[in-house]
Amino acid sequence: MVTPTETETMPQPHKFDLTAKNCEFLDRHLTFPLLEFLCIKAIYNKQEMLEFILDTVNKTNMIDYIMDTRKRLNLGDEMPEELNQRKTKVLQTLKELQSEVAPIMKATEILKNSEMMKDSKTFLNVLQKDYNFKSENVESAYKLAKYLYECGNYQDSTSYLYFCLLVMSPNDKNYLNVLWGKLAAEILILNWSSALEDLSRLREFIDNSNFTPMQALQQRTWLIHWGVLVFFNHPKGRDLIIEMFLNKPLYLNAIQTMCPHILRYLATAVIINRQKRNALKDLIKVIQQESYNYRDPITEFLECLYVNFNFEQARMKLHECQTVILNDFFIVSCLDEFVENARLMIFETFCRIHQCITISMFADKLNMKPHDAECWIVNLIRNARLNAKIDSKLGHVVMGTPPLSPYQQLVEKIDSLSVRSEHLAGLVDRKNKQKNQESIDSWKYY
């Protein structure tokens, strides 16, 4: 029988893969989705990945997962006796813990639909008065919740953790653990609205606690990593991640001090969030400050485009970004949106510097076929995101706005783009009226 040892480490990291770094700040159970994701990507040796998963899952009570991983490693159909014994023992412990908590859970069940559940003080009073509820019961519920979690039964675990939150004092020695456990369990059952609530609760707790600065920094670093999982799944997450990571100095400081690699996720969020373009200025400042500690194709893409105005390099970086995103569990679902918005950024910036561009030149810059590029630009203009006109005959795009010097462009573009484009829209309107009289036939308007 092969027993993986404690010394087994994650396979040698791939150039842009952040999984090993991210896993340092995640709960063991939260790492499984990331590891399984890597397992189906071709960037690591599959055998080594599976061995690492087996090593990790062995430290939990998820016996079925252990057995399944052994099978995938072809370690034989016959399960070692030790594993069967472990399974029996786990089930026995679960039973014991459940029987300890059963009377109190029955009471909770009875009270569930009454108004009392809404107010935890009243709820606790009734439990104490009518159901002989004692502080040991809270401890038992906590132990059961933790054990269920260890066994991979996250759904049931959240119920007991919810109960704990309801009856526990924030001074309870386990309170912080309950907050973390609940957040992890909600993430693992993909309940993003509950996870977001737990994330806010935890943040409030950490920000108002008496931690030493070092402890607080550590806690925030964890919260940032867990937050990424929530933010890229909850519909409001792409605003909230910018709000928390970029606009809250305590969290930005934690990122810069402890985990500058998180800039990848912040940059991705800003790129795909068209409504938050004014975050670009601050983001680029941070990316430049940290560029000696951390850079990847995504942060470099922004530098190429907004610091160096190097479109050719931006285009090449965008190409690399796609590989990075495709292999990053946190942001893989944003790939198409990312590419669409990154192209839009190149186009907007390009157009602000050049007054008239040919579609074929632009298609080349964006790695698109000329016809696709034209359709794409037409859509942009049609959706009123861009003040430009297309001359199909000549294959030209002509911008409504006057060209700017790169320096002007940087200042103007980054400083409150939304206000600026409103102003420009008016300006362009007037200019267009003059121009139209000269050559109204050759233009298509959208």
For ligand NAG, the binding residues (CB under 6 A) are 191, 193-194
How far apart are alpha carbons 406 and 304 in whole angstroms? 13
Q: Which is nearer to ligand NAG, 236 or 382 (CB)?
A: 236
Write the single-letter amino acid at 191: N
Q: Closest approach of Cβ 356 to ligand NAG, in Å?
A: 51
3-state SS class at 209: coil
Q: Closest approach of Cβ 203 to ligand NAG, in Å?
A: 19
Q: Which is nearer to ligand NAG, 186 or 300 (CB)?
A: 186
3-state SS class at 428: helix
Q: Which is nearer to ligand NAG, 154 or 251 (CB)?
A: 154
Q: Which is nearer to ligand NAG, 165 or 424 (CB)?
A: 165
Q: Which is nearer to ligand NAG, 194 or 401 (CB)?
A: 194
Q: Among candidates 394, 403, 398, which has minimal Cα distance to 445?
A: 398
Q: Closest approach of Cβ 191 to ligand NAG, in Å?
A: 4
Q: Which is nearer to ligand NAG, 35 or 148 (CB)?
A: 148
Q: Closest approach of Cβ 372 to ligand NAG, in Å?
A: 38
How far apart are alpha carbons 433 and 136 in whole angstroms? 79
How far apart are alpha carbons 135 and 119 in whole angstroms? 18
Cβ contacts of 323 within 8 Å, gap of 6 or more: 16, 297
Q: Which is nearer to ligand NAG, 235 or 249 (CB)?
A: 235
- Angle at CA 132, nearest 5°, toward 126 and 135? 90
Write the single-letter amino acid at 326: L
Q: Token pair for residue 18?
A: 């952040």
Q: Closest approach of Cβ 189 to ligand NAG, in Å?
A: 7
Q: Among candidates 333, 316, 317, which has minimal Cα distance to 325?
A: 333
Q: Closest approach of Cβ 211 to ligand NAG, in Å?
A: 28
Q: Which is nearer to ligand NAG, 47 or 155 (CB)?
A: 155
Residue/partner pairs of 378-387 with CB below 8 Å, 24 or more apart: 378/446, 380/344, 380/347, 381/446, 382/446, 385/344, 386/347, 386/348, 386/351, 387/421, 387/424, 387/425, 387/428
Q: Closest approach of Cβ 193 to ligand NAG, in Å?
A: 6
Q: Closest approach of Cβ 154 to ligand NAG, in Å?
A: 12
State which residue has the least CB distance to ligand NAG. Answer: 191
